[in-house]
Amino acid sequence: MAIKTTDFPAKQKQLNEDITNQNFKRCYLIYGDEAYLRLQNRDKLVKALDGGGSSMNFSKYEGDGCNPAAIIDMAETMPFLSDKRVILVENSGFFKSGCPELSDYLKSPSETTFFIFVEKEVDKRKDIYKAVTKVGFDICCEEQDADTLKRWVASKLRAEGKTISPRALAFLIDRVGTDMSNISTELEKLVCYCMDRSEVTEDDIDKVCANWLTSRIFAMTDAIVEKKQRTAIDLYYDLLALKEPPAKILALITRQFNLMLQVKEMVDNHRDKAQIASAIKLAPFLVGKYMNWARNYTFEELHEALELCASNDEAVKTGKLDYIISVEIVIIKCTENKVQNS
């Protein structure tokens, strides 16, 4: 299996150079799972092309109700007292469902119009994707790995005159997750909290940073794997207190067991961490955690856990069980210490 590589750093460098040199492509497509990077690049381009998107030569179309004909009409409208018109199309769904009209138009667009498309997901088989990449530039803003996130956090803190140890950095990522928007928000809180000090410590992070749903789920799964029934139940009711729907919690528990099963199968087939991360689209630094969890289970136990999750979900949907109780049953049964036959 080929190890997944990323061209994001090279693409980001090229985009930054386009902006610095004012040498713009006709179209830009910004997509991917990392919303922070998508929006950051969108705003940089809008500012560079139109000075912030506030002029009469800037138009924005958003949502799955975007009208291709209206976008094309605007693209054909000459800019007012300027040499360019900027059109931002965001979350249109064109790159998932296709858009023949824009695909054809982009083969020979107006020389005064610049397009910025921003989408979470794209289908590279669609004609509109091929059209944009032929006349323009695309960048996939994917979830960053742990090392990249740590360098980014350290640089943001340095800009604020703060330092942070490698151990505290790892603790921060583990606590708040890998979403860069969440991390950025938590860093703002940390900088304010540590205003009179130069170093951000683990204790600061523990006191200031919120325990997001992801970290709670990880903590609960840790407790389930380690057969710490009381801890797992307490964490479950903490999640309920945070207004998390039990159906969502059950789905996340199911996902964790499913990932453990996949990881265990690939380890058994001698796949390395990079190959596993690529295959199941998991951040590489999390693979080791799933490998450790999976060692605590046999294949039979993981299959049983997944069947239990599925059967309890079905029992709720057929009115045989209450959702809150059904998830508690899953946790209790998965944390039972089975008596092994000698």
Segment 227-232 mean pLDDT: 89
pLDDT score, position 219: 80
Q: Are 116 and 30 in contact (CB under 8 A)?
A: yes
Q: How many CA atoms lie within 13 A of 44 on its CB side?
A: 17
Specify the range with the lowest mean pLDDT, choosing from 4-8, 95-99, 265-269, 314-318.
4-8
Average pLDDT, integer, range 272-290: 83
Question: In sequence order, which residues have a C-beta less than 8 Å from that of residue 72 and are 6 or more positions away?
Answer: 101, 102, 105
Question: How does residue 134 score in pLDDT terms, banded at 50, 70 and 90?
Answer: very high
Other beta carbons within 10 angstroms of residue 229's beta carbon come to: 17
pLDDT at 199 > cutoff 60 = yes
Lowest mean pLDDT among 107-111, 292-296, 309-313: 292-296
| E strand or H helix at 31 | strand 27-31
pLDDT of residue 342: 28
For 63, other C-beta atoms within 10 Å of its C-beta total: 10
What domains are defined for the chain?
Answer: 8-140 (3.40.50.300), 146-208 (1.10.8.60), 213-334 (1.20.272.10)
Q: Long-range contacts: 133-136, Cβ < 8 Å, 24+?
A: 133/29, 134/107, 135/25, 135/26, 135/27, 135/106, 135/107, 135/109, 136/25, 136/26, 136/27, 136/28, 136/29
Q: What is the pLDDT of residue 341?
A: 34
pLDDT for res 1:
35
Of 46-55, 128-137, 295-304, 328-337, minimum mean pLDDT range: 46-55
* Rounded Cα distance, 88 and 116, in Å: 5
What share of the chain in percent tops pLDDT 70?
A: 94
pLDDT tens per residue across span 258-270: 999 999 999 999 9
Residues contacting residue 119 through CB under 8 Å, at least 6 positions apart:
29, 30, 31, 90, 91, 92, 93, 94, 95, 96
User: pLDDT above 90 covers what percent of the chain?
Assistant: 59
Distance CA 77, CA 109 (A): 11
Q: Strands 27-31 and 137-140: what pairing?
A: parallel
User: Looking at the DSSP assignment, which residues form a beta bridge with residue 177?
Assistant: none
pLDDT of residue 13: 95
- The CA-based dihedral angle spanning residues 145, 148, 149, 151, taken in that order and rounded to the nearest 10 degrees: 160
Query: Residue 198's pLDDT is what?
Result: 95
Q: Are 141 and 30 in contact (CB under 8 A)?
A: yes
Q: What pLDDT sits at residue 213?
A: 67
Count of positions (residues) in the chain: 342
State both tokens at 270. 């001698």
- In this predicted model, which residue has the larger pLDDT, 287 or 5? 287
Pairing of β 163-164 and β 85-90 = unpaired
For 52-100, how does the pLDDT look when each residue is reduced to its tens digit (9 = 90+)?
A: 777 889 999 999 889 999 999 999 999 998 889 999 999 999 999 999 9
- Amino acid, res. 28: Y
- pLDDT(215) > 80: no
In this predicted structure, what is the pLDDT of residue 273?
A: 86
Dist. CA 292–CA 294, nearest whole Å: 5
Helix (H, G, I), strand (E, B), or coil: what is residue 123?
A: coil
**Taking Cα atoms as reference points, which of 231, 262, 154, 143 lies closest to residue 199?**
154
Q: Left (φ > 0), alpha (ψ -120 to 50) or beta: where does 235 sit?
A: alpha
Instruction: Indicate the pLDDT class of residue 218, thresholds 50, 70 and 90.
Output: confident
Average pLDDT, the chain: 89
